Every structure is written in C-alpha cells, then in structure tokens.
Chain A
Amino acid sequence: MAAITVYNPQANTVEYSVPPAARKPALDGATIGLYWNMKAGGDAALDRTEHLLRERYPDVRFRRYTGSVGFLMRHCTAEDADRMAAEVQAVVGTTND
C-alpha cells in the first residue's frame, strides 16, 4: 500500500452580505423599473413584462433603464442605481439572459 498527501488547491473566499429589500405583497400603484442591459432580445422580454404587469395591476407605471457604461452588456453604475432607487419601487431586469 502506498499513499500521497497533497495540498488542497482551493482558496478560501471573502464573504459579502447584502440584506434583501423588503417586499410588499402587491404592486398596486407602484412605479416599476424595466432594466435592459442591451443584450439582444431583452427589450422584447421587457415589452412583454410591461404588458403582463399592466394587465395584472392596471395602475402601475413604468420607467425604462439601461446602464450608463459598458458595450455588449451595459452596466449599472452606483449613480444609475441611486437614480433608479429614487424613481421606482421595484425593478425587473434582463441581465442574465
């Protein structure tokens, strides 16, 4: 019988923690942000999302967003996030499509 003992190559990680936002049970009267990262098709997805949300909550309003930096995918800066947080009560995004 023979054996080899080797190092574990995997690094420990830095852990971050962000508390999720509190949710309300319904979206009536809310202004909802629709965030498109400008990857193809995301705009069509948000068009459909807006249509379905209007059907479910007739009094919701919408604002469209994209990131102010980037290229194939446009990214949201801290300033973008501040602006969105000041203008809407919820956001639907196409960023992992």
Chain B
Amino acid sequence: MIELERRGIPTVIFTAETFVHDAHRSAASFGLPGLPLAVVPKPFTNQRPEDIHRMVTAAFDQVIAGLTRPVQAPRRAAPAAAGDGRLRYEGTDVLEAWDRMNQDFLARGWGDGFPLVPATDRAVEAMLRGTRREPGEVIATLEPGFGLATVEKLAVNAAMAGCRPEHLPFLIAAVRALAAPKMYIRNKAMSTGPHAPLLLVNGPRARAAGFHAGMCALGPGAPAAANTALGRAVRLTMMNVGHTTVGISDMDTIGSPLKYSLCCAENEAGSPWEPYHVTQGFPGEASTVTVHFVYGICELHDFKSTAPEGLVEVFATAATNVAQVGTGLWLIGRRADPRYKTEEKEHNTLFLCPEHAQIFARAGWDRARLQAALYGAARLPFRTLMLNKEVQAHHAAHPELRWLADHPELPLPIVETPECYDIAVVGGAAGRGAYFYGAGEPVTVVVED
C-alpha cells in the first residue's frame, strides 16, 4: 500500500486489532508512519461472511476517513531506544546488579526470556577478537526493522547469548544468510506462523569451534553448548538488530521452543555421503552456515527397516501432514518478495541419523535417489492438499492446472521438485532422525574471518 501512496494513490487497509502495532511498525519502517487503517476487531480469516460484513460495516467510517482526510504522520519513534551508549546497573552485589540488568532488558523487550550474559566491555572486546573485521563494519541491514547489523552489535548479542569468540564468524555468516534477498526474512520474522531459523554448520571450522554433530546434537546438554549459544545468538540478533519484537513485529500465534535456539553441525564423519554444503556447491574444505526457517519438527523413527524402501515409506508419512502449512503449498504459488523479485520453493529438511544413512548407502543410494524416492512416495490427493488453501489462489498461481478440480483424488507430490528435500546426516547411533517442515528455501553462506 505504501508503494501506491508513493504513486499518489490514497489507500486504507483493513487491520485486525491484534495487528495494529504490527501495521504501525511496518508502515513506519517502510517510511510512512500514519498510513490509514480501518481497524476491525478480529482477523477476517476463519470468520463467516455475515460476521465479516458486520465488522466491515462498523469500520466503514474509517475507510472513508482514510481515503478522504489528510494523513497525519505521527512523530517517528526510534524502536526501543536503539543506540550506542552503555547501560549501568547497580546492586548490593554483582548478582543483584546482573538481576536488575536482566529485568530491565526483559522490560525493554531485549531478551528471549532466559537470563542474559552481561555484554561488558571486557566480554565484547574478547568477542571481537574472534573476527578480523572492524567493529563498525556493517554486515547487513536486517529486516523487518532495517537494523544495521554492525560487527559490534553482533558481538554484543553473541556475548549475551553465551557464545565464545570463535563463534562470532558463524553468527556473522548466519546474519548474511538471514539478510539474503532470497531469504525474505521479513515474511518469516513477522508471520503468524512459528518460523524458527534452523542452523546447520559444516566444515573444519565448525569442528574446531566445538559445534556438535553427534548424540543430542540439537541439545540440550554440555556437548551441544556451542550449538545452543549460536542458535540463541541468532534469535537475539533477530530481536535486537532486526527488531523482531513479539506482539509488534513478530505476530506468531502460538510460538515455538524451536525459536529459542535450533543449531547443530552435520555429522560428516558418520555420513556415507558428501557433506551437505558440498551439495550446495561449496568445496568440502569450506566451512559454512546454512539457515533454513522451519515451522516444526517430527521424529523419523524406524528401528525395523533394513532396506531403503521401508525407510522411505515411513519418512513419507511425516511429509504428508497437510495440517503443516508448507505441505502442497506449491499448488497456490511460491513465497516471493516482490521488492527483489525473488521466489522460493518450499523445502523440507531431513536429518538422517547415521544408522539410516548407512542403510541407503549400503544399497547404493545417494542423496538424489533418496530425494526422488521421497518425491514419489510423499503424495496426497489434490482434494486433501487443498483442504486449507484458497481455490482462487490456486487458479491465480496455476491456471494451467485448473483441470485438477475434475480429479480430486489424484495423488500429487507435497513439494514442487525432488530437490525440495534437503538431507543432512546428524546425530548418534540409533534409528531416529528428524523431519523439519520448512518455510521457503535454505541459504548457505561461507564462514569467513
């Protein structure tokens, strides 16, 4: 709508009460605070037409006012006291001072709910020794709040998360991935869905920096401490640098424990295949961070199968979950950021345990064959895939597939192409993997000093 205002066209947007803060923040971020809204009490989704009509009628005067009265832009407020200054906290002892810091940070919306490590001068200086970059270097402008991700701000958030200096280059790489136009982080950060950034680190630097790939790789526990800290640093960076703030610019309906921290290394030593980052075009000696936003996780349990076909059949049951938003989403289009003309296919990530990966390898299967088998096996009837999707969106995205309406029971793949299954080998020795319902495509970035 702001693009229309820029072109001289008055606009007004229906906005549910719960999204008013979000709408004001978005409008201000894009440069037009005061963009007219017609506020209705509830979202239109899941409402009966007669209830929608009643809400629109009650808000109609706001529609007229929005289109006919001059826009009064409120004074722009900087998000949550951004700045370069220090904050001082006092107490009868250091623990009390630290507690006051944590209470204040929570009150300001700067924390994830767990106690934060104080980012003191000494902690930040030590963190900055983890990179050759200058503290003032801007790594990216991070949406949705268009925050300037300087090396120093990343070091501060890394320190608060409990990272070690050797983890900072991984956070820098992760932020470059988050800011890639193809990532379309604005969509994922602000959504009503539980988008959690899944981080997969690969390469020799990942091993040297202590990232864990074996038993309980996603934590909790001491072996995965580096994983936990980096995943947490990414979340704090999204909040404090990208200004992803719950209730204002993070409209997640339920929330998710995956959003606190979700990070591990690939078990390259336990994998029969080339490392994941090599499949993405990087040399094996490179070290990388891959970020894939995911909605949720499902176990891939199978102690019984000894052949690939059995495992594929079991894995396909996890994939064919139509209550998960990405399942069959290709039928109504692709995730797309019109500003950058990017489009993403919906991908899902599988963490295969080494036991299962070896079953495929012993039978001569590579990743591509497994991807193709999953693509063939994970199918649902068109009618089922469309249960929670707008028919008009299907017609808009795929006018050439309107004939599917005459074949409602025709089984269709739940993703667009076989490559929409991303496969890494992770974890310890047992027949239990993980299936991540993804949001868009993963982005892989090289870790640099």
Contact count band on B: 35 or more
In the complex, the chain B residue whose C-beta lies closest to that of A94 is B14
Contacting pair A23 B10 (CB below 8 A): yes
In the complex, the chain A residue whose C-beta lies closest to that of B325 is A72
- Min CB gap A74→B, angstroms: 7
Contacting pair A72 B338 (CB below 8 A): no
Contacting pair A41 B52 (CB below 8 A): yes
In the complex, the chain B residue whose C-beta lies closest to that of A41 is B44
| Residue numbers in A under 8 Å from B147 (CB-CB) | 10-13
Contacting pair B78 A13 (CB below 8 A): yes
Question: In the complex, A32→B30 CA distance in Å?
Answer: 24
Contacting pair A6 B120 (CB below 8 A): yes
Would you call the interface of chain B mostly helix, strand, loop, or mixed?
A: mixed
Question: In the complex, A2→B93 CA distance in Å?
Answer: 5
Contacting pair A93 B11 (CB below 8 A): yes
Q: Quick check: is B329 within 8 A (CB to CB) of the other chain?
A: yes
Residues of A within 8 A of B (CB-CB), count: 70
| Residue numbers in B under 8 Å from A22 (CB-CB) | 8, 10, 70
Among B371-392, those with CB < 8 Å from A are 390, 392
The listed residue (B142, B156, B243, B397) touching A71 by CB distance below 8 A is B397
Contacting pair B71 A11 (CB below 8 A): no
Contacting pair B156 A7 (CB below 8 A): yes
Per-residue A-contact encoding for B144-161, CB less than 8 Å = 1, 0 else: 011111101100110110
Among A21-75, those with CB < 8 Å from B are 21-27, 32-33, 35, 38-45, 47-49, 52-53, 56, 66-67, 69-72, 74-75
Query: Which listed segment binds A: B53-61, B304-312, B430-438?
Result: B53-61
The listed residue (B45, B53, B149) touching A39 by CB distance below 8 A is B45
Contacting pair A13 B79 (CB below 8 A): yes
Q: Quick check: is B92 within 8 A (CB to CB) of the other chain?
A: yes
Query: Which listed segment binds A: B83-91, B216-224, B292-300?
Result: B83-91
Given contacts A18-B32, A56-B64, A75-B336, contact A44 B392 (CB under 8 A): no
The listed residue (A9, A17, A69) touching B119 by CB distance below 8 A is A9
Question: In the complex, A68→B327 CA distance in Å?
Answer: 22
Contacting pair B1 A93 (CB below 8 A): yes
- Min CB gap A87→B, angstroms: 10
Query: Which listed segment binds A: B34-42, B265-273, B313-321, B405-413?
Result: B34-42
Among B55-112, those with CB < 8 Å from A are 55-57, 60, 63-64, 67-71, 73, 76, 78-94, 96-98, 101, 105, 110
- Min CB gap A41→B, angstroms: 3
Contacting pair B78 A7 (CB below 8 A): no
- Min CB gap B60→A, angstroms: 5
| Residue numbers in B under 8 Å from A15 (CB-CB) | 31, 76, 146
| Residue numbers in B under 8 Å from A19 (CB-CB) | 5-6, 32
Contacting pair B63 A96 (CB below 8 A): no
- Min CB gap B130→A, angstroms: 16
Question: In the complex, A24→B336 CA distance in Å?
Answer: 34
Question: In the complex, A6→B443 CA distance in Å?
Answer: 33
Question: In the complex, A2→B242 CA distance in Å?
Answer: 32
Q: Quick check: is B230 within 8 A (CB to CB) of the other chain?
A: no
The listed residue (A8, A13, A40, A74) touching B44 by CB distance below 8 A is A40
Per-residue A-contact encoding for B315-339, CB less than 8 Å = 1, 0 else: 0000000000100010011111110
The listed residue (B13, B44, B142, B242) touching A44 by CB distance below 8 A is B44
- Min CB gap B98→A, angstroms: 6
Residues of A within 8 A of B (CB): 1-27, 32-33, 35, 38-45, 47-49, 52-53, 56, 66-67, 69-72, 74-78, 80-82, 84-85, 88-97
Closest 6 CB pairs of A and B: A41-B44, A16-B31, A11-B147, A20-B71, A71-B333, A85-B7
A2-B97, A71-B333 given; 5 more Cβ-contact pairs under 8 Å = A7-B87, A9-B153, A23-B67, A39-B45, A41-B45
